[in-house]
Structure 1
C-alpha cells in the first residue's frame, strides 16, 4: 500500500514524545532521519507496524500531552511509525474533543456546563471567565484557553472545572496530595521544559479557576475521594466500605482489609465455579443495559476462538455519573482484583481498562495500583503461584461520549474512530481485535468481590428478586449533600433523597442522566430497581439522580440535553446525525414559548424522536429523545 505523506516534519519535542512511546524508528521507512543503504534496497517494518495500529490513540495522547496540540508534522511522523494512512489518523484525531489539530496554548481550562453544573449556576462562572479571559475557545493574554465542556464527572463538586497543562511527564511528585499525572508521553523533562500538571477545581469560582490555570504551583489540593461519599466509614457498606478507610496507595492496607480474599476464592473454585457463582447471584450490568453478567461471561468462556479479552469500560460520560471515578480514585486495588477474577473466569490473558480522559487522578492511582500488583505477583505471570497469567493495560479515552458504547470502545482501542459496530456478531463472539470479549463497567466488576467473599446466595438476598445486590447512586443537583450513595435495590427514590437532603422546593428529578427520564416531585415512592422504574415509565440507567428545584429553568435544561446529544453523535447513521440536530433546532425555537404556540413544534419533536428511537444504530440515538419526551409528557414542560 502506497501511503501519501506531506512534507511537514515533527519538532524535536514531538518526535521525542512519540519515540518515548514506540521506541526509536528502526529504518527510514518508519521515520528515521537517516536513510541507510539497506533502506534503499528494501522496505522494512510494514506488516509489524500495521499490527501496532492500536497504539494510534496512545500516540496521539503522547503528542497532545507533551505539546498541547497535534501538528501535521507530528501526525505524519506517527503515521509513518505505525503505517497508518494520514487521512485515517486525521479522522481519529479530530473525533475526540480533548485533541486539537490547530495551535493552542499549553494550558486548557475545561469548565463544565452540563446538567449538574448548570443547576449550580455554571452560567455565572462562564460569564465571569469570559469577562476576564475573553470568549470561550479563544486564547487569552494569560496563555490560557478556556472551553465549555460536557460533564466532567465531578458532579458532587458542581460547578466544576478541570485544568490540563501540556508538557513532559513529571519526574517526581510535588508532595502529598499533589501527585501529578503520569501519562504515556514518557521521558524526564528537559532543562527548561514544561511539566504536565492538572488541577480539579470544584466548586469553582472565577478566581480559583483562573489561579489554577495561570499558576500551576498554587493549584488547589484535591480533596480526598471520601468527600464524594457522604456515607464513608458507615457500617454495612459493601461496595464503598474501603472508601476513606483504606489508603488507595497502599496494597498492604488493602489486603489487611480483606483484599485479594476473593481472588484466592476464585482460584480455589476454578473458572467454572466463578461463573456459576456470578450467575447464581443474579448480578446484572450496572451501566444501564442490565444484561446478566454471568451469562455474558459463560458465552465468552465457551468460545473456541482465542485469545479472549476482558475490557473494563471506565469511560463513564453520561451527564451526572461519577460513581466509577470515585471507586477508581478511592479503591483502585478492588478494580484490579476484580478484573483479574473476571479474566480468570473467561480465560483471558489480557485486560484493557478504557479510562475516561477527564479522570487524571484515577489514571494516576490506577497506574500505581497496577504497578504495585504486578511487582507483588498479583498481576503478570503466574499470579499467586497458580499458573495463571493476566495483565492489565490502561487505555485513555479522549472525550467522546459515544465510546461508552462497547463496540465503539473496541474501535477506539484498535485505533479507529469510535463509531459503533452493527450487531450481530456480538462481542462475546467477535469483540476486541475480532476475538471473544467481555466488556463490563467498573461498578459491575467490583460487585464480583462480595459475591465471592459472602457467597452468591447471600449477595442475592440483598435487594429484590429481579434486582439483586447493592447499587450505587450518583446524587447531584440542588441537594444538600451531593455524592455517591450505596443502597440495596428496592429502596425508594424518596429514601435516597432523604439521605442527600432534598431541596425545599423540589420540582423534578432526572433519573438515568441525559439518556434517562424525568419524574415529578410527587413520585418519590418509585422503587429504585430495574423493574420498578420500568413499571413507572422511566429508567434507572447508570444510577444518576439529579434533583432540580424551581430555580432551574426546565426548557433551558432540555435545550442543554439536546445540545449534548448533537455534539456527541458520531454521525455514522442518518437518524441520529440529522435527528439530534433537528431536535436541538426545535427546542431552540420553543425555549420561551408555551401552549398552542409550541404545539406544532412539539408534534415535530415526537416524529423526530420516534425516528431516532426506531432507526438509530446504537443507544445514543435511541435514547436522545427520552428526557425531552418525559419532560413534555410528565412535567408539562411547555404547557
Structure 2
C-alpha cells in the first residue's frame, strides 16, 4: 500500500476522465509520495533534496526574502497572505532572538493536506525551515503538531534526527555559519490553537486562547520576541522555489495566485485524496480526473476551503480555485478542502454537525462566539427534528450576523459562514423541515446519517 493510499487517496488520480491528468496536475510536494520509504532522508536526497537550502544559504538573508516575495508565494494555511512579505515584517537589529513557528495543528473539518505531507515527505518542511530561518535570522524553530496524529509525530521526530545527523540542522548548517535548532511540539488537540496567537500561547504553556492584536507576532510573538508563524505547506513549498526558480513557480497558477498547491478532495467522490495542481484549477477538472462523484449520484453542494468557508453548489463547478476566483464567487479558498456532498445529504443536518463542532471548539473567551454558537446549535437541532418555526430561520441569520466580524478571532466568522451560505442556497430545505415536521431525507439512503458523520470531516 502506498503512503497516499494509507490516507485514502493519491497525489495522482487512480481513475481517468476527459481531462488529461498530465496537463492538469502539478505534483511537486507529492511527486514521490508513492516511492518506497518516501519519508527518509535518503529518498529525499535522491529527489534534489536540500538543493534549495544550499542555494539559499549562499544568498544574503534579505535577498532570500526578496526572492520568495517576488515568487508570489502566498500562505497555504487559509488567509493567503504573501509569505515573503510576512518574513519582511520581522524587525532587524533589535537585539532579540527571532523565532519561526510552523503551524501543523491541522483541525479544520475537511482539511487533510498537512498531515499527509508530513507523513510522506517531512524533509520538505525541514528544508523549508532552514531557508526561512536563514532569511529571518532565526536560530530556533518550532513545529506545533496536532497531538492526536502520533504516527506523524514519530516520523517527524525521526526526520529531525536524520537532519541533525547529516548536518542540515544544528551547529554551522552546511558550513554556512547558521546555527539552527528545531523543536517538535505536540499540541493537546484544540481547534482554536490553529489560530496563530492561540498557538503561541499554547506553545508557551498557557491555555490556548487568541491574543489581542496589536502587537502582532512579527513584533511580539513567542516569548514576546519577533516571530513568523507559517503553515506547513507554505514552508514546504519554499525549497522548490529556491531550487527551480521563481520564474518556474510563476509558470503555474494565475498572476495574483501563482504556483502549485494541494487540493484535498473528500466526501461523496469516487476517488478522494490529495490532488496537487496549479492554483486556478476548477472542481470540474478535479472531478474529471478523479472519477467524478460516486456512481449514480450528482453533486449537491461543496466547500472550497473547509467547513468554515461559505458553501458552493453545482453552479460553481467552473469557479477558478484561486484566491481571487473563489473570493469573487462569494466564498474563500481557505485550505483548499473540497468537501463534496451528493443529493442524499441533508443540508440542515450537515450544517448542524459543523455548528456543533464550532460550539464545542470555541475557547469561550468572547461573548459573540461563546453564546452565539451555543444558540445556533439549539435552533438547528430543533429545525432538524421538526420542532422549529419559520421565524427561526431569520433568527439563525440574526445570530450568525451578531457573531460574524464581532468575535475575538476568526472562529466566529467560520461558524457563521455555513449558516449564511446554506440559507442563501437551500432556504427551501430548511422550510421543508419546519412545515414537514422533520427531515425529508431517507436515513436508509443517506451516508451522512446516524453514526456516519465522519464523512463530514468532523472526526477527521
What is the match of residue 405 of structure 1? 195
Residue by residue over 1:36-59, the C-alpha shift from the partner in whole angstroms, topping out at 9 and shown as x without a partner, is xxxxxxxxxxxxxxxxxxxxxxxx
What is the match of residue 550 of structure 1? 343
Picking from 96, 100, 103, the partner of 1:310 is: 100
What is the match of residue 113 of structure 2? 323
What is the match of residue 610 of structure 1? 401
Q: How does 1:143-542 map to 2 (within 5 A)?
A: 224-228=3-7, 229-232=9-12, 236-245=26-35, 247-300=37-90, 302=92, 304-503=94-293, 504-542=297-335
The answer to whether the 8 A contact 1:323-1:473 is kept is yes
Instruction: Point out the more displaced range, 229-238 or 468-477.
Output: 229-238
What is the match of residue 438 of structure 2? none
Residue by residue over 1:547-599, the C-alpha shift from the partner in whole angstroms, topping out at 9 and shown as x without a partner, is 111122221111101100100000000111101101111111211449xx643
The answer to whether the 8 A contact 2:90-2:136 is kept is yes
Deviation at 1:439, TM superposition (A): 0.5
Alpha-carbon spacing, 1:265–1:246, altered in 2? closer, same or farther (3 Å): farther
Gaps of 5+ in 1: 1-221
Instruction: Point out the more displaced range, 295-304 or 445-454.
Output: 295-304
What is the match of residue 448 of structure 2? none
Name the Cα RMSD after superposition.
1.8
Alpha-carbon spacing, 1:437–1:303, altered in 2? closer, same or farther (3 Å): farther
- State the SS of the aligned residue for 2:274: strand
What is the total number of aligned residue pairs between the two structures?
A: 416
1-side partners of 2:370 and 2:323: how far apart? 29
1-side partners of 2:93 and 2:341: how far apart? 47
2-side partners of 1:313 and 1:571: how far apart? 22
Alpha-carbon spacing, 1:273–1:367, altered in 2? closer, same or farther (3 Å): same
Deviation at 1:223, TM superposition (A): 6.1
What is the match of residue 392 of structure 2? 601
What is the match of residue 638 of structure 1? 430
- State the SS of the aligned residue for 1:630: helix
Residue by residue over 1:19-68, the C-alpha shift from the partner in whole angstroms, topping out at 9 and shown as x without a partner, is xxxxxxxxxxxxxxxxxxxxxxxxxxxxxxxxxxxxxxxxxxxxxxxxxx
2-side partners of 1:359 and 1:622: how far apart? 27
The answer to whether the 8 A contact 1:248-1:365 is kept is no
1-side partners of 2:33 and 2:75: how far apart? 22
- State the SS of the aligned residue for 1:517: coil
- State the SS of the aligned residue for 1:415: coil
1-side partners of 2:49 and 2:5: how far apart? 19
Alpha-carbon spacing, 1:632–1:398, altered in 2? closer, same or farther (3 Å): same
Residue by residue over 1:438-474, the C-alpha shift from the partner in whole angstroms, topping out at 9 and shown as x without a partner, is 0001111111011101111221221001111012111
Deviation at 1:249, TM superposition (A): 4.6
The answer to whether the 8 A contact 2:126-2:236 is kept is no
Deviation at 1:252, TM superposition (A): 2.2
The answer to whether the 8 A contact 1:318-1:401 is kept is yes
Deviation at 1:502, TM superposition (A): 2.4
Q: Does 1:627 align with 2:413?
A: no
What is the match of residue 562 of structure 1? 355
Residue by residue over 1:361-397, the C-alpha shift from the partner in whole angstroms, topping out at 9 and shown as x without a partner, is 1111110010011011110111111111011101101
- State the SS of the aligned residue for 1:325: helix
- State the SS of the aligned residue for 2:158: helix
Residue by residue over 1:2-33, the C-alpha shift from the partner in whole angstroms, topping out at 9 and shown as x without a partner, is xxxxxxxxxxxxxxxxxxxxxxxxxxxxxxxx
Return the TM-score normalized by structure 1.
0.63
The answer to whether the 8 A contact 2:198-2:211 is kept is yes
1-side partners of 2:107 and 2:6: how far apart? 21
Deviation at 1:250, TM superposition (A): 2.8
What is the match of residue 441 of structure 2? none
1-side partners of 2:133 and 2:32: how far apart? 23
- State the SS of the aligned residue for 2:379: helix
Instruction: Point out the more displaced range, 228-237 or 561-570.
Output: 228-237
2-side partners of 1:578 and 1:489: how far apart? 37
The answer to whether the 8 A contact 2:29-2:124 is kept is no
Moved over 6 A (4+): none
The answer to whether the 8 A contact 2:12-2:275 is kept is no
2-side partners of 1:617 and 1:493: how far apart? 33
2-side partners of 1:540 and 1:635: how far apart? 21
Deviation at 1:635, TM superposition (A): 2.9
- State the SS of the aligned residue for 1:387: coil
Structure possessing the higher radius of gyration over alpha carbons:
1
Instruction: Point out the more displaced range, 231-240 or 506-515.
Output: 231-240
- State the SS of the aligned residue for 1:515: coil
Alpha-carbon spacing, 1:620–1:305, altered in 2? closer, same or farther (3 Å): farther
The answer to whether the 8 A contact 2:50-2:127 is kept is yes
2-side partners of 1:477 and 1:281: how far apart? 33
Alpha-carbon spacing, 1:303–1:296, altered in 2? closer, same or farther (3 Å): farther
1-side partners of 2:70 and 2:346: how far apart? 46
